[in-house]
Amino acid sequence: MAGTGGEGAVGKVTCAAWIRRRDDYGGPPGVSRLLVAFGRRSTASSPPLVDLLEFDAKASALASESEPLARVTVGEDAADTPRAIAVHPGGRELVCATAKGCRLFNLVYKDFGVHLISRDASPLQSVGPQKCLAFSTDGAKFAVGGEDGHLRIFHWPSLITILDEPKAHKSFRDMDISLDSKFLVSSSTDGSARIWNIDEGSPLTNLTRASDEKIEYCRFSRDGAKPFLFCTLVKGHDVLTMAVDISNWKRIGYKRFSAKPISTLAISLDGKYLALGNRDGDFCAVEVKKMEVAHWSKKVHLGFPVSSIEFCPSERVVISTSHQWGAEITKLDVPPEWKVWQIWLALLSLFVSSAVLFYAFFTHARLNLRP
């Protein structure tokens, strides 16, 4: 585990996101293809900031937190403090939510470095405090859910409105977009959850719940197999995680992973792991295929709710944040997975071994057959 909540001259980390550059952008040499964006609160000597830092995958740590690759000032007062960051799947744009609205920044790779350049995004700048931000997997849609319960869905990058629903919820708690970019799920602080058809820009259905149940956090499956929706469910004094079949939006079953109230939910990019953070500062990683806990991290954010968890796109590493302790990087203690090159190497080894055995057998057979 590597702590990244230290303060110094700049403020603590309030939110974080991974940035994975794509090969087809052909950035300059010497710049990591795996970056981390940190939103920082203001201090007496520093305004609210967004930092870009290099991540060292071999060390599972930031290369240097004190020397970010890029830094940009978000505003001048506390209301400009970053609350959430969403990164476009292409790795070239990020949206930062504040108490005033959203700021859009372009990541420009030039002069052997990376720069954050502010860009005009009028439809987003004065929307007020947003609780949830999400890009669709294909990068063609962008959605924001506000503390006032207002849902907005836009075409990207034109920011042409697809849906503008002021009364989507009492107040947003969580939001996610399906792997095929067709559906959006949103949950409210009152325990309700709704499914939206993105292409039609309209509500599709409400997730059913009993009078003593509250649906809190939601994530769509990501493994490309039979699609599910995972939701955390508070049922009386029980804290459960349920699976919903998105073909009919009916629940399949549920399981208890934590006895403590859940404060955030995340899913890995390949859909193999769920992460659940709780209000005591712990989090666990669940292997989706078995629906069993594969990793526990206790007291990562001692005594304070985990406000967000973000999976690294290429490693079994997560960044977790809390308002008190900032950000922490944790390497998950889960079984290593085979890389593509390792699979090909194993196949090549089997082929060579088979060829050697065949040659030895053939040679021995010829010797035995000689008169």
Q: Contact, 83 vs 15, CB < 8 A? A: yes
Between the alpha carbon of residue 216 and those of residues 162, 172, 185, 195, 231, the distances in Å are 25, 10, 11, 14, 7
Q: Contact, 246 vs 178, CB < 8 A? A: yes
Q: Which two tokens stand for residue 33?
A: 């293809």
Burial of 152 (0-12, 13-18, 19+ CB in 10 A): buried
**Residue 123: partners with Cβ closer than 8 Å, 6 or more residues away:** 152, 154, 159, 161
Q: Which two tokens stand for residue 222?
A: 């990501």
Give the residue from 261, 260, 257, 252 showing the smallest Cα distance to 274.
257
Give the residue from 164, 242, 234 showing the smallest Cα distance to 196.
164
Give the residue from 230, 328, 342, 224 showing the smallest Cα distance to 283.
328
Q: Which two tokens stand for residue 105?
A: 């920044």
**Residue 223: partners with Cβ closer than 8 Å, 6 or more residues away:** 270, 271, 272, 288
Q: Contact, 205 vs 195, CB < 8 A? A: yes
Scored b (16 or more CB within 10 A) or e, 225-247 reads eebbbbbbbbeeeebbbbbbebe
Scored b (16 or more CB within 10 A) or e, 92-121 reads bbbbbbbbbbbbbbebebeeeebbbeeeeb
pLDDT tens over the chain, length 371 residues: 444 444 458 999 999 999 987 554 455 554 447 999 999 999 999 999 999 999 999 999 998 877 899 999 999 999 999 999 999 999 999 999 999 999 999 999 887 788 999 999 999 999 999 999 999 999 999 999 999 999 999 999 999 999 999 999 999 999 999 999 999 999 999 999 999 999 999 999 999 999 999 999 999 999 888 899 999 999 999 999 999 999 999 999 999 999 999 999 999 999 999 999 999 999 999 999 999 999 999 999 999 999 999 999 999 999 999 999 999 999 999 987 655 444 455 556 666 676 666 666 667 665 565 55
The C-alpha angle with vertex 81 and arms to 136 and 156, in degrees rounded to 5, equals 20
Which strand (E) or helix (H) includes residue 321? strand 317-322
Q: What is the spatial distance between Cα 146 and Cα 209, in angstroms, rounded to a whole number?
A: 23
Q: What is the spatial distance between Cα 245 and Cα 96, in angstroms, rounded to a whole number?
A: 32
Give the residue from 283, 310, 301 showing the smallest Cα distance to 94.
310
Tokens 């325990």 correspond to 191
Q: What is the spatial distance between Cα 320 and Cα 307, in angstroms, rounded to a whole number?
A: 7
